Chain A
């Protein structure tokens, strides 16, 4: 197992390298440059040239890329011109906010998705199954930014139960409870689609498992129905479900871009959107690297858990 994990971690390096090259090329290819974004209507060729020189953007593309790469190896991700601070500081701060949101959403999606899938499978073709299947269909089809706005209008504006946006209250805020309180709406919005996907998959995995001989044997031994479903069937079904949760982690990270904008969550998704708009290439690079690395790590984690659950895969 350690060799496997180490191998997968080493494979991360070429992925990140390739990714940084692609991001760099895309940013260089799309029209408009930082100087234009800074100067707006005042972007005379003369002013643009001056800003480009100050930002080191008048050098050739390979030189710019290699300089950046050389700095990254030493842990220096450069300085964001659009936020006037080191990229690393900004990225770490923003990424932790995204991790909190995405983590909460993923936990929520897993719990809801698993429960819904189990109920659906246990009561196959019953009323509960139909209700869950219908709810899942709705959940998967709803555009999440729209759902977010709707939740804001109902829970925050009309009923004043929950905060509209942000991560902590401006006044009297701070602390874990305040964070949870601000987390409810964005985490639910972000979790809905993933929960639907997980529910669907759990349902089919459970249906398959529940028909197998060992389940019949367990029932015959007199194991309680709860024990059959959760201890025997679910454990076997999880082998199929876990990798999907790992993939959903990626979707949740991607979906965070919209959700962070709607809920003004100070995460890395919104940071990236802003950075692309201002052509802040170093900030984009830093953000993409962190998001990509975490996506790969999530999947690795899912694979490791799967191997622990089902030793046959490793063999």
Chain B
């Protein structure tokens, strides 16, 4: 017996001694390498194929578009195009391209390359069309033809005036890929990207990392970091643990509950509100919410500040209307929206004779941009109960949820949670609030709101290429939408990130892109 005991004991001791001896030397991340903790594996490195913010965070460092968002804003400024002119009728855009720009594979960037990029997405018979599908190609569906006037000049002719064209070009779907690389790699291009950006692609190891490095031949100021590694860390707790343990330098999308761990001087927390809106679609055709006063009462009843502060712990700000303040040039500062006022809500309900009305409330279990949908839904339910509205929650898995809601609320539901992130103030109201956007017409107007005056303003804003005048039209649109209350306006998400104190020059963008050109480490 004692022999067994001593045999086991020595085995155990041996194990204890051997493990630390095997430990590899601490491998510090060098100061010119930045490791970014991402939320998921990217789907594709082809900007025409990608649809996810998670992918865009990498793409905007590899590629450039004709135009881009001015840092810190959602206003468009020159990038690969040095300048442009827009015809009187808003249909012809002519871009002068930057000279001496080459792709990472050494081929020149010119008007033919631009033509190739857009024809690949838009023409089903294009030789490289099989590298698709191109889910967001409809961003450019207004384009009738693209011509290379000369090597430095490219001309887009639109089917009709479409003012959001420029901001769509600044969106990742408009990033320019190398035609020769696409032709050579075919479908494998999605994992072998070649652009003109300050960084070039090195490798993508499935489930582990995407690595990019400084492009020494960049036309502008070269990037300051030598290498950037993007690691997919799907579990938020693990991502936070990696940050605390020094395994990553940057962590995006920090869960509200984890923010407190990064309050010390070793870390820096970054926040930036984006063009995001979290709202409730209200059924304006069937049920109690058909009455505008009941819809306004719902808006007054909900304590948006409490949702932003307590549930989302400061990772969102309350919304006052349909357009996010991040669209500075189109946002109406004067809008008061619906401050939390249960008494006013009760009064409106009494006036409408809708006290004690029962509401069916669709709630998503999760979903892109939906933040914490179940907790928010429950809070809203409680707020509504306080003014005497009885909301019954029905939850669905995200894909099922989208299918249900996008088909229209019909007589099945009175309200539904929804969230959108857009790059132009046109997108959200145009796709979701016009009469022509009813579900039966293939649009997202799931609450059947219809106001001919709003339809007219949105159409006009789309044709207006002067940004000042467009901004005025969107301000008018906001007044109408807030008054009619086809939605309950809840919150704008603030994107957040944590960096170690050593990371310099880091800033989040309203576009939610992660621009690493000027970032360095001490």
Partners in one complex: yes
Could you list which residues of chain A lie within 8 angstroms of chain B, going by C-beta atoms? 30-33, 35-47, 50-51, 54-55, 79, 81-85, 90, 93-94, 97, 115, 119, 122, 149, 152-153, 156-157, 160-161, 163-173, 177-178, 180-181, 184, 224-226, 229, 261-264, 266-267, 270-271, 274, 278-279
B41 within 8 A of partner (CB): yes
Shortest C-beta distance, B368 to chain A (Å), equals 5
**Contact A97/B135 with A40-B368, A84-B43, A274-B40 known, Cβ cut-off 8 Å:** no
Does B27 contact A169, Cβ atoms closer than 8 Å?
Answer: yes
Across the interface, name the chain B residue whose C-beta is closest to A260: B207
Interface residues of B in 22-45 (CB under 8 A from A): 22-25, 27-30, 33, 35, 40-41, 43-44
A115 to B49, CA, bound (A): 54
Task: List, in ascending order, chain B residues with CB within 8 A of A168's CB.
Answer: 208
B51-65 contact mask (Cβ, 8 Å, vs A): 1 or 0: 100000000000000
Shortest C-beta distance, A192 to chain B (Å), equals 16
Contacts between chains A and B (CB distance < 8 A), count: 173
B212 within 8 A of partner (CB): no
B1-13 contact mask (Cβ, 8 Å, vs A): 1 or 0: 1011001100100
Across the interface, name the chain A residue whose C-beta is closest to B33: A171
B199 within 8 A of partner (CB): no
B183 within 8 A of partner (CB): no
Does A173 contact B1, Cβ atoms closer than 8 Å?
Answer: no
A160 to B27, CA, bound (A): 12
Q: Which of A43, A79, A82, A267 contacts B207 (CB 8 A)?
A: A267
A47 to B399, CA, bound (A): 15
Q: Which of A41, A165, A167 contacts B247 (CB 8 A)?
A: A165
**Contact A226/B208 with A40-B368, A157-B245, A164-B245 known, Cβ cut-off 8 Å:** no
A156 to B198, CA, bound (A): 34
Does B400 contact A31, Cβ atoms closer than 8 Å?
Answer: yes
Does B187 contact A163, Cβ atoms closer than 8 Å?
Answer: no
Shortest C-beta distance, A30 to chain B (Å), equals 8
Does B22 contact A164, Cβ atoms closer than 8 Å?
Answer: no
**Contact A42/B135 with A83-B43, A94-B206 known, Cβ cut-off 8 Å:** yes
- Segment touching A, from B160-168, B229-237, B497-505: B229-237
**Contact A166/B22 with A54-B133, A157-B241 known, Cβ cut-off 8 Å:** no
Q: Which of A115, A224, A270 contacts B3 (CB 8 A)?
A: A224
Task: List, in ascending order, chain A residues with CB within 8 A of B410's CB.
Answer: none
Task: List, in ascending order, chain A residues with CB within 8 A of B23's CB.
Answer: 161, 181
Q: Which A-B residue pairs are the 4 nearest by beta carbons?
A: A32-B399, A266-B207, A172-B27, A84-B190
B238 within 8 A of partner (CB): yes
Task: List, in ascending order, chain B residues with CB within 8 A of A261's CB.
Answer: 234-235
Task: List, in ascending order, chain B residues with CB within 8 A of A93's CB.
Answer: 206-207
Does A264 contact B238, Cβ atoms closer than 8 Å?
Answer: yes
Task: List, in ascending order, chain B residues with CB within 8 A of A177's CB.
Answer: 22, 24
Shortest C-beta distance, B191 to chain A (Å), equals 6
A161 to B138, CA, bound (A): 51
B331 within 8 A of partner (CB): no
Q: Which of A44, A84, A226 contacts B46 (CB 8 A)?
A: A84
Interface residues of B in 174-218 (CB under 8 A from A): 187-188, 190-191, 205-209
**Contact A169/B133 with A85-B191, A157-B241, A164-B241 known, Cβ cut-off 8 Å:** no
Does A38 contact B400, Cβ atoms closer than 8 Å?
Answer: no
A51 to B368, CA, bound (A): 19
Does B241 contact A152, Cβ atoms closer than 8 Å?
Answer: yes
Does A178 contact B241, Cβ atoms closer than 8 Å?
Answer: no
Task: List, in ascending order, chain A residues with CB within 8 A of B22's CB.
Answer: 177, 180-181
Across the interface, name the chain B residue whose C-beta is closest to A128: B5
Does A85 contact B188, Cβ atoms closer than 8 Å?
Answer: yes
Across the interface, name the chain A residue whose C-beta is closest to B189: A84
Residue with the greatest number of chain B CB neighbours at <10 A, chosen from A43, A55, A180, A264: A264
Listed by A's residue number, 19 A-B pairs whose Cβ atoms lie within 8 Å are A32-B403, A41-B369, A41-B402, A44-B442, A47-B138, A50-B133, A84-B43, A85-B191, A94-B207, A149-B237, A152-B241, A164-B247, A168-B208, A181-B23, A224-B3, A264-B232, A266-B206, A266-B207, A271-B207
Across the interface, name the chain B residue whose C-beta is closest to A278: B43
A76 to B502, CA, bound (A): 48
Task: List, in ascending order, chain A residues with CB within 8 A of B237's CB.
Answer: 149, 262
Task: List, in ascending order, chain B residues with CB within 8 A of A160's CB.
Answer: 245-246
A115 to B12, CA, bound (A): 11
Shortest C-beta distance, A91 to chain B (Å), equals 10
Q: Which of B4, B209, B241 contacts A170 (CB 8 A)?
A: B209
Shortest C-beta distance, B80 to chain A (Å), equals 25
Shortest C-beta distance, A95 to chain B (Å), equals 11
Does A32 contact B402, Cβ atoms closer than 8 Å?
Answer: yes
Does B41 contact A83, Cβ atoms closer than 8 Å?
Answer: yes
Task: List, in ascending order, chain A residues with CB within 8 A of B187's CB.
Answer: 79, 84
B244 within 8 A of partner (CB): yes
B255 within 8 A of partner (CB): no
Across the interface, name the chain B residue whose C-beta is closest to A50: B133
Shortest C-beta distance, B209 to chain A (Å), equals 7
Shortest C-beta distance, A80 to chain B (Å), equals 9
Does B135 contact A51, Cβ atoms closer than 8 Å?
Answer: yes
**Contact A225/B238 with A83-B41, A168-B208, A267-B207 known, Cβ cut-off 8 Å:** no
B256 within 8 A of partner (CB): no
Shortest C-beta distance, A199 to chain B (Å), equals 14
Does B208 contact A156, Cβ atoms closer than 8 Å?
Answer: no
A5 to B406, CA, bound (A): 53
